[in-house]
Amino acid sequence: MKLLFDRVFDGAAEMYARAEKVLEETVKELGESAPVNMPNTAYFLANHLTYLTKKVTTLGELRACFPRVKEWMPRRQRLDDVFKSGYGTVMAAEVIEACKYAKSGKPYGDEYWGHMSDAEVRELGVPLVTGDIPGFVVIIGPAPSDEEAAELIKGYQSRAIFVFLIGGIIDQARRMNINMGFPVRVVPVGPDIWAVTHIISLVNRAAMIFGAVQPGDREEFDHYSFHRIRAFVNAFDPVADIVVACGGGAIAMGFPVITNDTRDMWKVPKSLIIQENTKDFIETSLEARDIKIKVANIDIPVAFSSAFEGEIVRRNDTHVDIDSTKMDCFEWVRTRPAQEIEDHSIELAGPDIDAFEPGSRIAMGIIVEVSGKNMQNDFEPVFERKIHHFLNFIEGVMHTGQRDLIRVRVNRNAFAAGFRARHFGEVLYSKMKDEYDKVIDKCQVKIYTDPEKLKTLRAEANRVYETRDARLQSLTDENVEVFYNCILCQSFSPAHVCVVTPERLGLCGAVSWLDAKATNELDPNGPCKVVAKQRVVDENLGIWEDVNEAVQQASHGSLQQVTLYSIMQDPMTSCGCFECICGIEPVSNGVVIVNREHTGMTPLGMTFSEMASMTGGGVQTPGFMGHGKQFISSRKFMKAEGGPARIVWMPRALKELVGKKLNKSAQELYGIDDFTSMIADETAAEDPEKLMEFLSDRGHPVLDLAPLL
Q: What is the pLDDT of residues 477-493, one digit of tens each?
A: 999 999 999 999 998 89
Which of 163-177, 297-311, 357-371 bottoms out in mean pLDDT, i.e. has the lowest? 297-311
Between 127 and 190, name the one with better pLDDT. Answer: 190
Distance of CA 389 to the CA centre of its chain: 14
| Cβ 294 vs Cβ 380: under 8 Å | no
Q: Provide the whole-model pTM.
A: 0.91
Locate the domains of the chain by residue range.
Answer: 4-288, 311-466, 482-704
Task: Express as a percent the part of the chain with pLDDT over 90.
Answer: 90
Nearest Cα to Cα of residue 573 among 532, 634, 623, 617: 617
Please give the pLDDT value at position 513. 94
Summarize the confidence of residues 182-190 as an average pLDDT.
96
Q: How far apart are CA 77 and CA 534, in angstroms?
A: 63
Question: Measuring CA to CA, which residue among 285, 244, 291 is closest to residue 265?
Answer: 244
pLDDT average, residue stretch 342-347 = 98
Nearest to 571 by CA among 652, 507, 651: 507
4-288 and 311-466: same fold? no
d(CA 543, CA 548): 8
Distance CA(681)–CA(211), nearest Å, equals: 32
Give CATH for domain 4-288.
3.40.50.2030
pLDDT of residue 1: 62
pLDDT band at 77 (very low <50, low <70, confident <90, very high): confident
Give dist(CA 682, CA 161) in Å, integer.
37
Contact 669, 643 (CB under 8 A): yes
The average pLDDT across 409-434 equals 97
Q: Tell me what the mean pLDDT of segment 312-334 comes to.
A: 95
pLDDT digit string (tens) for 509-566?
989 999 999 899 888 989 999 999 999 999 999 999 999 999 999 999 999 999 999 9
When pLDDT is averaged across residues 450-473 and rounded to a whole number, the result is 92
Query: Residue 340: is it exposed, middle or buried by C-beta count within 10 angstroms (0-12/13-18/19+)?
Result: exposed
Angle (CA) 77-203-187 rounded to 5° is: 110
Percentage of residues of the chain with pLDDT beyond 70: 100
φ, ψ of residue 533 in degrees (nearest 5): -145, 50
Instruction: Determine the length of the chain.
Output: 709
Quick one: pLDDT band at residue 281, thresholds 50, 70, 90?
very high
pLDDT over 70 at 193, yes or no: yes
pLDDT tens digits for range 223-234: 999 999 999 999
Topology given in CATH for the domain delimited by 311-466: 3.30.1650
Is residue 295 pLDDT above 80, yes or no?
no
pLDDT, averaged across the chain: 95
Instruction: Write down the CATH number for the domain with range 482-704.
Output: 3.40.1470.10
Overall average pLDDT of the 613-618 stretch: 88
Task: Determine the pLDDT at residue 112.
Answer: 98
Mean pLDDT of 93-107: 97
CB atoms within 10 A of CB 325: 10
Q: Characterize the bridge pairing of strands 330-335 and 365-371.
A: parallel
| 282-294 average pLDDT score | 93
When pLDDT is averaged across residues 131-135 and rounded to a whole number, the result is: 91
Question: What single DSSP character describes residue 215?
Answer: T
